[in-house]
Structures are given as structure tokens and as C-alpha cells.
A = this chain, B = another copy of it.
Amino acid sequence: MRSTLKLSVAAIALLGFGATAASAETLDEVMKRRNLSQKDLLSAAKTYTPSGGRDEFIAFSSGGQSGQIMVYGVPSMRILKYISVFTPEPWQGFGFDEESKKILDDAKVDGRTIQWGDTHHPAITETNGEMDGQYLFINDKSAPRIGVISLHDFETQQIVVNPILQSEHGGTFVTPNSEYVIEAAQYPGVLGRGYAPLSEFNEKFRGAVTYWKFNREKGRIEPENSFSIELPPYTQDLSDAGKLVSDGWSFTNSFCAERYVGGIESGRPPFEAGCSSNDTDFLHVINWRKAEEVYKAGKVTMINNHPVITLQTAIDEGLVFLIAEPKSPHGVDVTPDGKYIIVGGKLDTQASVYSFEKVKAAIDAKNFVGKDAYGLPIIDMKVALHKQIALGLGPLHTQFDSKPCVAYTSLYVDSQVAKYDYCEGKVLDKISVHYNIGHLVAMEGESTKPKGKYLVALNKLAIDRFNPVGPLHPQNHQLIDISGDKMELVYDMPVPLGEPHYVTAISAEKLKPLVRYKYGTDSRTGQDHADAVRPGSEKIVRSPGKVDVYMTAIRSHFTPEIVEVEEGDDVAFHITNSERAEDETHGFSVSTYNVNLSLEPGKTATARLKADKAGVFSFYCTEFCSALHLEMEGYLVVKPKGLAQQAATSPSEGRSYTKADFDKQYKTNNDTQAVIDAVVKYITSTNFKDFPTVVALVEDATDQLNFAKDAKAKTDAAAEKQDWQQATLWAGQWWQYQVKAADIGLRAKTFLEQNGAKVVAK
């Protein structure tokens, strides 16, 4: 009546249902049913990516106040991954394994544990101003911090805390060879996060910009080789690094140059009124290369053990210059050739295009119109401007096309994107977006070699664009095709988590992430893990009040499976995933504890807990890794204090096995082996070596069959001793490895059939 898997593998394989057939509905019928226009169909064709297809670009999006990074493909606009940076996230084990807890410990600010971040501007490492796809940086506005993510494994590996800022915004922006990661302040504070009354705002409050030194070989920011420059208490905003002709310089704008402090509760108009009163604010033009020399020469003041070039030194050494920029600016963006700096003023209608050549000439000639209240030289805006181009209401940020002189600026109030020629000062096209666009991103659009093709509008409001999901709406990232003369809106992507600010997008081919780790890697450092063990060397090490479990994980069991400890012990599980197969991640949870690990192939991670209460706690793999995934379990036995001296006891047996049981299982295994042999015969008869996916599967299946061989040896040894209990159970384990091998083999067979493999041998 029933037939278990072992009996009918071959029979099922012969059922031979075809994978495809003609759809009942024609294209016209589908378009009519779904109310699609020809233009919609064209947009669908431009974005739809069939199963197994690849996106041309990968976008790294700020996750806003989610504290994470969102990764999506362009043009499919499918979200591929969230990377935890400042916020603990259990799927990735981030903030749950001891290795990542160290990163979050380093991320404390003034002793406070902060379990979120307000991420704003991601930046990818650059070589000669071109994106190279090695590392990714992201800032936290609320607690002034920078996260460093390795694009080798898409994991956060470092968080550094700014030693002097109270909040920040103008990060992260990299210099053209990623020598420095730029982080500029937002709301003025007392440098070093000290106290001063607001009545001394003008005297004691300051802004600053920090240049974090990046060591590319180590993949780490080096706080000990980083420095800051003190700035006036204008509310610094976005930044950008010069490139090519302007390499060595950086640009940071500001709003509230009025230095207004609100107080609506005491009858003062609010910040928004007093901070938007002037017609202009200040662009800070900074010679960072010269500042680096000044820092290296030791002309710094130490604040919280961090070297700061004071305003006076900056003036004396000629490091910082100001230029007026129109009303409450938001974005400052350097053109791909480094020749121009484009600023959008939120309450302006124009893109202001500054000429670096003119700025440099004014500085060299000491052609200044005056000084600000702090003594910084001011360059005349009229002298510095190349052009101002009327675009529309609320210009914010600018990105660049692969076509020379073509830029795109977001218009917040108009809910539009303007395309224009910044060399000639001519508007070329405009398109409406939905609604209230903040940043926008073109492919590698902030580098020296923009790739054109696509632009994404990061709209702050979605309002009516999607199915309703409650008062808290998704954001709306809209994909715009910019390959033609006219911009074409082709896709609306809801952002389901967080409010992204900026996105950076890189050609997918530049990313070469790992598939698996070198055996026993601590992924949070990228180094060998001291507590990794090889299969066969697993152990439990006890010392007073402390138990260290050195464990391996493989489809579908942990070794060890039973861990006995005493109530009150500190228990550490150091677990290595001994798999090699792509995507064979294991998890690890201990029931009712705040513990979850993500163990990708080759990774070692540690889960730590306090055995605070006697009990028997199941642990299990939290990733569905195999047919017997649910059986990948074990028990943490926490013995009550008084019982601790008792010897460990054997588990009771739920079932006894006889020779007949053994013979039945043995026969099953032989039958299953015949099926596996048939699959192997098919695979090896084809040109399977032309398919890297299948080669990897064959490698994995071979591993499983080797494990099966080991289990068979144990089976035979127990049978030799007529221990039918052990013999039957080990025969069962041998069969489990056969099932895994069959699973993998069938996947390989299907892949070959669906991808046109040829039979090359009989």
C-alpha cells in the first residue's frame, strides 16, 4: 500500500512529465486582462528577468533608520539581500554570535549600547575614481559612526565611532583611491561631545569634517591614522570628494548658516523658519591633501585622543575656503571629469554649477570677497560659478550619465527629475516621479566613469502607489530608463523596510563575492577562527563554571548532539560548518535562549549562553538544509546543581532492532545504491564538466557518498559483532547519506536536461 522513497526512485524518474507546455492565455489576452498598454509591455520587457537570469547592476541602498543596507538588482529591482550594519539581525547571526557582538561592542558611543543606526550614504571603494567593488561604507547620522562592509562576503566587519561629533550627515564619500572616507557633521555640537549652554552657541558649538584613513589591504579604517578639521557651527550637510583635476580636494555644503537656534516653546519661531532665512549658505572647499600634510606635521589639537586641525590652523595653512551657495542646499556633487561641482538648494530653483578651475584660480590668487565670522576666506560666488541652470522647484541631488556633460538632478518640491547639459546650461528633459524625490542614483553615476542606462529615483512618499499596508507606507524607488533622449519611467519598487537616503550602484561584473569560506573562517574578521575544529576533532572542554563545545555541523547533524552542563555554567558553542556545497548554510538555536547563528559553508561562529536554569533545552539547525533538516537536533542538558556529580546517563531507547530489521535496511540501501548508480551513469555520460553548477553538485554528491562509505563501515563493524541495534541505526545513517546524494544527483540531472547537456559517452 505504501511505498517509501527507497523503492521507487527509478519508477518516479520514468513518469517523465514535461516541464513546459503552451499557456492557455495569449499575450493579447493577458494584456487585456491586466489592463497593460504597449508602453507597459515595453517596460515589462525592459525589467523582467527570467529564472536564473542576472541583473546588470547591483544597487547598495541605505536602509535609513533600519540600520541596514539593502541590496537590489537593476533593472529587475528585486531585493537580493539585507546586510546588517548597526542593527542586530538574527538570520545573519549579526549581534547574536560572539564575533559580531565584538563589532557592536566597538560601536558603543560614550558607553551606550545602540542597537540601530540612521544610515544615509553608502559608498563603494574606488581605484582611480572608478568603483572597484571591494568594500562598502555607510554612515550613521544619529550616532556618528561608519560601518565597513566587505563585498567579499557581504558582511559588516567594522564600525568606527567618531570621537568628536555629536551627529553627522556628510558621510560616506571616498577619495578617488579610497585613501580616506569622508564624514562631515550635521547638527553643531561641542566637539568631543561636551557641554556648553546654547547661549554660547556661536562661540562653543562647532562642526567638523573627519577624514578616516582606509587600509585597503586590511579592509579596515585606521582610526589611528585619521584626522578631522574643525568647522564653524553651520549645519554641515553632504560632501563629495574631488577627482582627476580636483583630486586632493573635498566639498562639504551646509544649511543654517544663520546659526539659528529655535525654541518654539518659548515663543521663538522654529528652527525651520530661522534656518531658511538667508538667500545663501556656505559651501566648504577643503584641500584635504594639504590638510593631511598639516596633520602629519603634528599641527593638531587632540580631542578625545583624536587629532583635530583647528579652525585657526585651517585658516593659517589655507585649508578651508567658503563660497556662497543658494538657499538651504542639500546635495553637492562633483562631475565625472572633476571639473565642476554642482549644488542644489532645497529652496532654490536652479542647479548651481561651480568651476573648480575658477575656484582654484581664486584661491591661488587670494581673490576673496571677505571672511566669515570665524575668519575663513570667502570666494565670490560670481567668480566661482560656471553656470546656474533653472531646473524647477527644490533641486536636491545630482548624478551623471555616461554621455558627456549630461546630469540628472532631483526636484523635491516638483516631484520631478531634470536632465540637462551642465556644460551648456541647457535643460534636456524632465519626468514626473511619485512623489517627492530625495536622492537619485545613476549607474556608477558618482564615479569618473558613469555607466548610463538606468537611473533610480528615491521617492520619499509613495502615498497611493501600492496596495495599502497600514499607516506606515513603503518608500518608492522608481526605475527610469535613461538610454534614450527622453527619460522613461519603467518600474515602481516598494521599499519594505526603512527609509533609504542614498543608493550607490555598480556593474554586477565587478563584484566577485565568495561562495564559501576557507575552512574555519571567522567571517567578522575574515581571519582563521581560533576555535574551529575539523570533523573527528569535536570536543567538550570543561573548566570550573565554564563549558566550551567545539562542534561541527553538516547535513543533517551536529557533533556533539548531547551536551551536558551544570546549572550556572557559562556555555560556549564554537561551531564550524564543514560543508563545501554552495548555499548549504546551517543555523543554530537553543530553545528559549537569545541565540541564533548563521553558519555558511566553512564558517566558524560562537554562541554563548548562561545555563541559568536546570532543564533540557533542544537545539537545532534553523536553516532548512536537507530532507532531514528537522532531525538536525540535539539537547543541551542543564543538570540541577545537586545532580552535577552524577555520571552521565545513556538515553533510553524508544525502539529495539533485530537482525530482521537490519536485513531490511541493508537491502533498502543496496536498492537505493542501484538508483544512485543509474543517476551517476546518466550524469557521467554527458558533457557535465561544461556546467560549473553541475560540477559543484557532483563534488557535493561525491562527499555524501564518501560519508555513506564511512557509515557503511560502522554498519558492517556492528553487524560483525551482531549488535543489531547499532548495526541497524548505522545502516539508517548510511541510507541518509544516500538520500542526500540522490537529492543532489537529481538536481544535477534536471539541470543538465533543462540546459541542453549532450550525451558524449555511453
Contacts and interface: CB of A to CB of B under 8 A. Distances in A.
A497 B262 CA distance: 41
A543 interface: no
A564 B118 CA distance: 24
A349 B390 contact: no
Nearest to A89: B66
Interface in A269-300: 269-280
A130 B275 CA distance: 56
B48 A47 contact: yes
Interface string A727-754: 0111011011001001100110010001
Nearest to A554: B270
B427 A15 contact: yes
Contacts of A612: 111-112
A122 interface: no
Given A79-B79, A596-B118, A196 B113 contact: no
A478 interface: yes
A561 B735 CA distance: 69
A12 B693 contact: no
18 contacts: A4-B347, A5-B394, A27-B45, A51-B434, A65-B91, A78-B466, A81-B494, A91-B499, A110-B613, A186-B630, A198-B652, A262-B562, A265-B559, A268-B651, A272-B557, A272-B733, A463-B693, A499-B623
A594 interface: yes
Contacts of A22: 486
A545 interface: no
Contacts of A51: 434, 465, 478, 489, 491-492
B561 A262 contact: yes
Given A115-B594, A561-B265, A153 B470 contact: yes
B624 A460 contact: yes
B262 A557 contact: yes
Given A17-B429, A277-B728, A471-B601, 8 more contacts: A25-B42, A40-B48, A91-B499, A193-B592, A199-B649, A272-B557, A272-B736, A414-B746
A747 B87 contact: no
Given A394-B627, A651-B263, A616 B513 contact: no
B80 A274 contact: no
A432 B143 contact: no
A270 B48 contact: no
A493 B49 CA distance: 10
A326 to B, nearest CB: 5
Contacts of A235: 630
Interface residues of A, number: 282
Interface stretch (A212-220, A444-452, A568-576, A579-587): A579-587
A682 interface: no
Contacts of A201: 651-652, 654
A339 interface: no
In the complex, the count of this chain's copies comes to 2
Nearest to A396: B627
Interface in A705-762: 711, 714, 726, 728-730, 732-733, 735-736, 739, 742-743, 746-747, 750, 754
Interface string A40-60: 111111111111101100100
A730 B273 contact: yes
B271 A52 contact: no
A631 interface: yes
A655 B594 contact: no
A618 B187 contact: yes
Contacts of A7: 349
Interface string A17-42: 10111111101001100101111111
A326 B2 contact: yes
Interface in A330-364: 330, 345-350, 352
Interface in A461-488: 461-474, 478, 481, 483-486, 488
